[in-house]
Amino acid sequence: MSRISGINLIGQMSSSVTDSVVSVMPKTTISGKNTLKAIDWIGDKFSSPENRLILGVTALMTQPFIDARNKKVDEETRKVSVARTVAKIIAGTLTGYFVRAGCIKMIDAMTQLPSKVDPKTFGGRMRMLFTPEDAKTGVLQDLKMYKNALGTTISLFVMLFTNFLIDAPLTKYLTNLFTDKYVHKQKTDKGGTVNE
């Protein structure tokens, strides 16, 4: 019972912090026709795979430069750190994007309406496996949003495995590749030696 009350306390604290942040933010009403169209377009076209790409590109444009400017470490450590950061971002972005996109595509294939498949066959039942009852009766308005949300949720569970099976080995491979190509090569080009 104390564990549940601890979770409730954390939830209340989180809610309190969120309320505090929201209360100090200025109130804004968006009313421009073109602005509202742009927001609708972004909401319609951008799902979690695209969000992951945006995060990856933003990270690639900022984090390596922060590592490169770290004056607390020597130059070679900075270069290795930049190589590792770039490798992590590329591997994480690629894995995250393709896993999310693949799961959403899978859910899309298994969320067909009865009018498009024969629900009496095994193939038809499989293609309707995740179709909500509301969509079958025509009550659910936005099936696309449902598919994106369900695909994203499933991708989070899939990524528990792909992080170890794909992401980590790819990060290690890219880190070694970038380190050998840019850090060690520059060191040998300057006349130094590289310890293997």
Distance of alpha carbon 129 from alpha carbon 112, whole angstroms? 8
- How confident is the model over 40-79, as pLDDT tens digits? 888 777 888 999 999 999 999 999 999 999 888 888 889 9
Distance of alpha carbon 150 from alpha carbon 28, whole angstroms? 31
Q: Count the residues in the chain.
A: 196
- How confident is the model over 152-164, as pLDDT tens digits? 999 999 999 999 9
Q: Cβ distance 149 to 156 under 8 Å?
A: no
State the pLDDT confidence band at 194, using cuts at 50, 70 and 90.
very low
- How confident is the model over 141-150, as pLDDT tens digits? 678 888 888 9
- How confident is the model over 73-124, as pLDDT tens digits? 888 889 999 999 999 999 999 999 999 999 999 999 998 887 788 878 888 8
Q: Cβ distance 151 to 108 under 8 Å?
A: yes
pLDDT on residue 170: 96
Distance of alpha carbon 118 from alpha carbon 112, whole angstroms? 10
- H or E, element range at 158: helix 143-162
Look up residue 148 and give its two tokens. 């994106």
Look up residue 140 and give its two tokens. 């659910």
pTM over 0.75: no
Question: What is the Cα gyration radius of the chain?
Answer: 24
